Structure 1
Amino acid sequence: METTTDREIVISRVIDAPRELVFEAFTEVRHLSRWWGPSGFTTTTSSFDFQVGGAWEFVMHGPDGTDYPEWITWTEILAPERIAMLHGEYRDDPDAFESVLTFGAEGERTRIDMRTVFPTVELRDEAVEKYGAIEGGRQTLANLATFVEEWVGEVVR
C-alpha cells in the first residue's frame, strides 16, 4: 500500500455554522468569489460548472497585483459530506494536485478537513516554500469561516 504523507498537506478548521451551509459555500460561484483564497487575494471566474467532471476556471489576483490562473475539476461530490477535486493551473496540468474536503457535522458546527496530495515530494515542498501553501490554506479556511458565520448571521436575522 502506497503512503502519501510526504506529499500531503492537511489543514482542518471548525466553523461555527451548520454543515449544509459550509458545503453550500463551495457549490455556488457567488459564494466562492467572496471568500476563496488567502487573505488579500480576490478571484475572477471565467467558468464554473459544479458537477462531477465539471470545471471551475478562474484567476486569483494577489495583493501585489500578480495573477495566478487556476483550474479545478470536480472528481467527486457527495453532498454535504465530501468534495474531491483536481487542481492545477490549466486543464491537463501535469503538476495538478488532488484535494479532498470532508465536512463533518459537530452539532451546529462543522469540521472541515482539507487533504491535498501532490504528485511529488518536490512539488509539495515547492508549494509550501515558494507559495506558502500551508499558511495560505489556513487563511483560505479562515476566510471561509468568516464568510459562512456572517452568512449564518444574515440568515438568522
Structure 2
Amino acid sequence: MTQKTGSEVERMTVTRIFDAPRELVWKAWTDPKYVMQWWGPKEFTCPVCKMDFRVGGKFLYGMKSPDGQTFWNAGEYHEIIPFEKIASSMYFADSEGNKVEAADLGIEHEAIEGAYDVTLFEDLGDGRTKLTFIGNEPAESAKDSGQLEGWNQILDKVAEIVAELVDAK
C-alpha cells in the first residue's frame, strides 16, 4: 500500500441525497443486517458482517465476488456522533480481521497516511438526507483503481435499502 501524507491531497468523496429521514439512512448504514445487503459493488455479496459499533469497536466484512472469491475488510471506529458522523479506519484483512497488505493480495491501493474514512449524515429538511463518504484514498487513484465506481455502486444499494425502509414505515 502506498502511503501519501498531507492535507493538500484531494480525497475520494462520494455523495448521495436520499428521500428519507436521517434516522433511516443512519439505520441502513449502521445495522449489520442492512450492511450485509449493501457492502460491496454491484453483483458482490456480503456473507459476513461483524460490527461492534462503538468508539474503539472493530468491524469485519467479508465481500464475495461473482466468481466466489471472498475479500475481507476490517477496521475500527474512532468517532461516532449519532445521526451525524462516523470516522473509522479500514484495511484489507484475513477472515480473522488481521491486517493484510494490499500488495500481498495483488491489489494496488493508495492510502493517505493518518486519514480516516468519514461518513457524514446531513438533514436537508423536507425528509431528505445527504450522505457524504470521504475515503482515505486520493481522489485520482480512487478513480483509476475503480474504488470510486465501487463506492457509487454501494450507494446505489444503500438507496434501495433506504427506499424499502421508507416504504415499510
Q: Distance in 1 between matches of 2:165 and 2:23?
A: 12
Return the TM-score normalized by structure 1: 0.83
Does residue 139 in structure 1 map to residue 143 in structure 2? Answer: no
Q: Distance in 1 between matches of 2:49 and 2:24?
A: 24
Residue 25 (structure 1) shift: 1.4
Unpaired runs of at least 5, structure 1: none
Deviates more, 1:104-113 or 1:44-53: 44-53
Map of 1:103 onto structure 2: 121
Does residue 89 in structure 1 map to residue 99 in structure 2? Answer: no
Map of 1:114 onto structure 2: 133
Give the match's secondary structure for 2:116.
strand
Match of 2:20 among 17, 21, 43: 17
Give the match's secondary structure for 1:5.
coil
Q: Residues 130-153 of structure 1, C-alpha deviation per residue, up to 9 Å, x if partnerless?
A: 4x1011011111110111111110
Q: Distance in 2 between matches of 1:13 and 1:76?
A: 21
Q: Is contact 2:29-2:158 (8 Å) kept?
A: no
Residue 93 (structure 1) shift: 5.4
Return the TM-score normalized by structure 2: 0.78
Q: Is contact 1:99-1:117 (8 Å) kept?
A: yes
Per the alignment, do residues 58 and 117 of structure 1 end up closer, same or farther by CA in structure 2, a change over 3 Å counting?
closer
Q: Is contact 1:45-1:56 (8 Å) kept?
A: no
Per the alignment, do residues 46 and 140 of structure 1 end up closer, same or farther by CA in structure 2, a change over 3 Å counting?
closer
